[in-house]
Amino acid sequence: MNFNEQVNTSKSPSPNQESNTTPATTAICPLCQKVSWTGEADDKDEVESVMNNFVSKDWCNCKHIVSDDYVEYPPKAGTGEKVDE
Ligand SMILES: [Zn+2]
């Protein structure tokens, strides 16, 4: 008889880990009123998937001043600097 057998199905290191991050989502840039994004983008693909719902001529064209991340896409809404053309 084996009374010591235990089934341990706990594989997740932290099942109750809470996440405060919101996925990247569409936003209107407050500076140029064009399409930008907000939320937390973990990688470029997230920004890309948001921005590719719109044609690039409708994208916010503000300058990145906070971060050089994802420079091929608009800066996160409200973090850029309006460019006068
Ligand atoms: Zn903008």
- What spacing in Å lies between the alpha carbon of 63 and ligand 1's midpoint? 8
Residue 73 in any domain: the answer is yes
Secondary element (H or E) of residue 26 = strand 25-28
What residues does the ion ligand 1 have nearby, CB within 5 Å?
A: 29, 31-32, 60, 62
Residue-wise pLDDT for 38-55, tens only, equals 999 989 999 999 999 999
- What spacing in Å lies between the alpha carbon of 47 and ligand 1's midpoint? 15
Residue 36 in any domain: the answer is yes
- What spacing in Å lies between the alpha carbon of 71 and ligand 1's midpoint? 13
Residue 67 in any domain: the answer is yes
- What spacing in Å lies between the alpha carbon of 21 and ligand 1's midpoint? 23
Name the least confident of 19-23, 51-55, 62-66, 71-75.
19-23
**DSSP labels, 38-52:** ESB-SSHHHHHHHHT
pTM of the entire structure?
0.73
Residue 62 in any domain: the answer is yes
Total count of domains within the chain:
1
> Domain span at residue 66?
25-80
Residue-wise pLDDT for 13-24, tens only, equals 555 556 677 889
Provide the pLDDT for residue 72. Answer: 94
Residue 68 in any domain: the answer is yes
